[in-house]
């Protein structure tokens, strides 16, 4: 948190800002900027009026039973965060097309084995969760020639890509997605959505990229579908337990690529202005930016 405090003071030196671990006047705090805070820790602030995630996700806030429905919650919508996510997904998709994971394993074994490869026009990328982040990723993929489709929970007015809406259209969406990218928020309704029932509807040989939350994925179901050959591989940046336990089967699975939750990390210098803008709005009684719907959890 010192990094965030320093970034705020560097850009807005007159704002009173404190690190949670240092002595500070709890009764004067009206806004808490948090990430995976200890449950119950914010009940110590009697005049708290807003909880701000300094990332795009807010599931950790809703997991704190002492906070549910009591205070407004905001999240980060940031072009740098979105661009970083897009670059990660693009790297994973192109690496899959050119079989980089297979070649890396051949290198470890000292095997020279030329393989076939696939092209952009061979694939339809399905964005599971075409919200702000998801749409940025979708349009960047579309820009270089991919056919891109998206799935959303409710209808959107501005459809820059073909969108499938709700449960009735989810099956059609999955059946067309040769690469599935999960960018959903984690809520009670999306937890475990990457399960055998849904993943088995993907075309044979499909590839999974999960850059949302580990809670979306039923890990045993994925392993079974990989072992059966229904899925050709997976690139996973998020996990049910982080750090991923050293004994977890993902570490040594030939079809799984792992990164340690680094697909897109909030840049304090880019994010601070919107956090401070909301602090000012809070003081002035104005509507907050990027406010989360407490009933939906995103």
Q: What is the pLDDT of residues 168-194, one digit of tens each?
A: 999 999 999 999 999 999 999 999 999
pLDDT of residue 1: 62
Task: Enumerate the β-bridge partners of residue 210.
Answer: 182, 236
pLDDT higher than 70, residue 58:
yes
pTM of the model: 0.96
Answer yes or no: are the C-beta atoms of 133 and 85 closer than 8 Å.
yes
Return all residues near 245 (Cβ < 8 A) that are at least 6 apart: none
Provide the residue ranges of all domains of the chain, joining segments of one domain with +.
2-78+266-284, 79-258
| Active-site hit among 230, 248, 253, 261 | 261
For position 29, what pLDDT does the model report? 98
- How many residues are recorded in the chain? 298
Question: Is 261 considered catalytic here?
Answer: yes
Question: How many Cα atoms within 13 Å fall on the side-chain side of residue 271?
Answer: 22
Half-sphere exposure for 294 (CA within 13 Å, toward CB): 9
Q: Which class does domain 79-258 fall in?
A: alpha beta
SS3 content of the chain, % helix, strand, coil (to 5): 40, 15, 45
* Residue in 9, 4, 82 with CA at minimum distance from that of residue 37: 4
**What is the average pLDDT score of the chain?**
97
Question: Going by DSSP bridges, is the β-strand pair 73-74/124-128 parallel, antiparallel, or unpaired?
Answer: unpaired
With a pLDDT cut of 70, the percent of the chain lying above it is: 100
So what's the pLDDT on residue 2?
85
Residue 255 phi/psi, 5-degree rounding, is: -100, 5
Intrachain domains 2-78+266-284 and 79-258 with the same fold: yes
For strand 124-128 and strand 231-236, is the pairing parallel, antiparallel, or unpaired? Answer: unpaired
pLDDT in tens, 124-169: 999 999 999 999 999 999 999 999 999 999 988 778 999 999 999 9
Q: Which residue shows structure tokens 């509807």?
A: 201
Four-way CATH pick for 2-78+266-284: 3.40.50.720, 3.90.420.10, 3.40.30.10, 1.10.3720.10: 3.40.50.720
Q: Which of 213, 216, 230, 248 is catalytic?
A: 213
Query: Is residue 202 within 8 Å of residue 191, measured between CB atoms?
Result: no
């Amino acid at each position: 948190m010192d990094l965030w405090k320093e970034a705020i003071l560097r850009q807005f030196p007159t704002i009173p800002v404190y690190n949670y671990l240092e002595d500070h006047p709890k009764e004067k705090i009206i806004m808490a900027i948090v990430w995976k805070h200890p449950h119950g820790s914010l009940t110590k602030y009697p005049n708290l009026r807003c909880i701000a995630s300094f990332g795009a996700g807010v599931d950790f806030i809703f997991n704190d039973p002492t906070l549910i429905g009591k205070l407004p919650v905001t999240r980060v919508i940031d072009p740098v965060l979105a661009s970083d996510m897009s670059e990660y997904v693009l790297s994973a998709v192109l690496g899959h097309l050119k079989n980089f994971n297979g070649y890396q394993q051949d290198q470890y074994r000292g095997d020279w084995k030329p393989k076939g490869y696939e092209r952009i026009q061979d694939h339809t990328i399905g964005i599971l969760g075409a919200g702000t982040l998801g749409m940025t990723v979708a349009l960047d993929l579309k820009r270089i020639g991919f056919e891109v489709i998206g799935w959303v929970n409710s209808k959107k007015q501005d459809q820059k890509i073909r969108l499938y809406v709700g449960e009735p259209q989810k099956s059609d969406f999955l059946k067309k997605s040769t690469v599935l990218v999960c960018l959903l928020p984690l809520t009670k309704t999306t937890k475990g959505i990457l399960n055998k029932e849904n993943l088995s509807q993907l075309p044979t040989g499909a590839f999974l990229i999960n850059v949302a939350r580990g809670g979306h994925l039923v890990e045993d179901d994925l392993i079974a579908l990989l072992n059966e050959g229904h899925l050709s591989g997976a690139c996973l940046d998020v996990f049910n337990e982080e750090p991923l336990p050293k004994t977890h089967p993902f570490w040594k699975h030939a079809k799984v690529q792992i990164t340690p939750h680094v697909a897109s990390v909030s840049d304090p210098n880019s994010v601070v202005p919107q956090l401070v803008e909301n602090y000012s709005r809070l003081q002035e009684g104005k509507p907050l930016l990027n406010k989360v719907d407490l009933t939906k959890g995103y």
